[in-house]
Structure 1
């Protein structure tokens, strides 16, 4: 990758990007509460299974489509996949998380764009703003990465790595684990992330499915959990 695309990718996939990803545990908090996740190994097992079969595969596949549709300047297609992802979210908590993060990313993108007016937007600002209030994070990530000319395979890798980093960080706080253990886990997840990327890039529309009932149950439990560190 050239520095022109690598640096924007590093910024977009940074865990400190102010879109609120660090506020969510995606069910891990309730799984720790109930004793389903209690160690480095059990957290790794959960994340590996999510990469292989879970909802993150759907989200990442939609991000891929958003990247391609943005390059094609197909705003109608972006809206259709945005609605599709709303229907695919199994709980209100997960849907609200996705929409909040997507809204925050688009607002950040438009703010950054005002400071670089010489850079042409792939889609007009008013069209992007029209999606702003009801845009899922996967859609926003695909749009922004395409506009910043980040190659699709690299954007997908960054999206998956950002997801894994946020959840490992949640596990480090909740179990709790040491920071070194958290870094070891992120290192251990590299083969799974790379394999997921290769598989997701080949998925056709009719192949988009997941086995995420465990995540859905954990999310519903988290909504009513008495004591929480993470947002619901």
Structure 2
């Protein structure tokens, strides 16, 4: 069971002001908006649902749990290999390095150039944080960052973005429950449109976000 100290630590690690630069990564959302595929709250909500349920949300949660429960170095190799495009690789590795740098300096945690979910799982294990709560905060931060970007990029405004984020709570809970006991065999992604958008973003003429 999580203590108040655990909750405070997780809130800090996955809060908007933790310096991993998540605000610079749209996860292909900018390209989806440019192509007119995401244009309002409904289309953004549907896109986010797919990314969480069938894409990086679920995938990252399983990788985090695997790193927490097993050999994080091996999981890091697998996570790196699963990157579906150059920008997806950049997104997870750059944020992972930034996260690791702060964790090692402030909490004396592991300092490894691993993808973000892997270093997050390893750091949580080293700090003695409960896995379920770590997964919950991680997924909430991932979805929340995309909602913040959608408020500006779609645009849908801050209130609509918060409404979408609130609606994602059952998805987050379901992913956490699955990831707690998932194995490598459970890894898999089926968000082709989002992956194609991430690739298209690499050559997009006008870009605000890195991915």
* TM-score range normalised by the length of the shorter chain: over 0.9
> TM-score, normalization: structure 2?
0.94
Q: Matched residues in 1 for 2:93 and 2:209: separation? A: 17
Cα distance in structure 1, aligned partners of 2:176 and 2:23: 22
Deviation, structure 1 residue 140: 1.2
Q: Which residue of 2 aligns with 1:87?
A: 81
How many Å separate the matches in 2 of 1:205 and 1:226?
A: 38
Task: Report the counterpart of residue 127 of structure 2 in structure 1.
Answer: 148
2:194 aligns with 215
1-side partners of 2:51 and 2:181: how far apart? 18
Q: TM-score, normalised by structure 1?
A: 0.86
SS at match of 2:107: helix
Give me the whole-angstrom Cα distance separating, in 1, the residues matched to 2:142 and 2:60. 10
Aligned to 1:72: none
Map Cα deviations across residues 74-99 of structure 1 (whole Å, 9 max, x no partner). xxx21111111111111011101111
Q: Equivalent residues in 2 for 1:219-230 (5 A)?
A: 219-230=198-209
| Structure 2: stretches of 5+ with no match in the other structure | none
> Which runs of structure 2 are paired with 1:1-232 in the superposition (5 Å)?
1-69=2-70, 77-113=71-107, 128-129=110-111, 131=112, 134-232=113-211
Verify the 8 A CA contact 1:102 1:136 in the aligned structure 2: yes
SS in 2 for 1:17: coil
State the number of aligned residues: 210
Cα displacement string for residues 8-50 of structure 1 (whole angstroms, at most 9, x for unaligned residues)? 0111110221001111000000000001000111111111112
- Please provide the CA RMSD for this pair: 1.4
**Which blocks of at least 5 consecutive residues in structure 1 are unaligned?**
70-76, 115-120, 122-127
Distance 1:183 1:83 in 2: 35
CA distance in 2, matches of 1:206, 1:14: 31
Q: Check the 8 A contact 1:5/1:148 in 2, yes or no.
A: no
Q: Distance in 1 between matches of 2:76 and 2:26?
A: 22
Residues 27, 198 of structure 2: 8 Å contact kept:
yes
Q: Quote the Cα distance in structure 2 between the aligned partners of 1:83 and 1:178.
A: 38
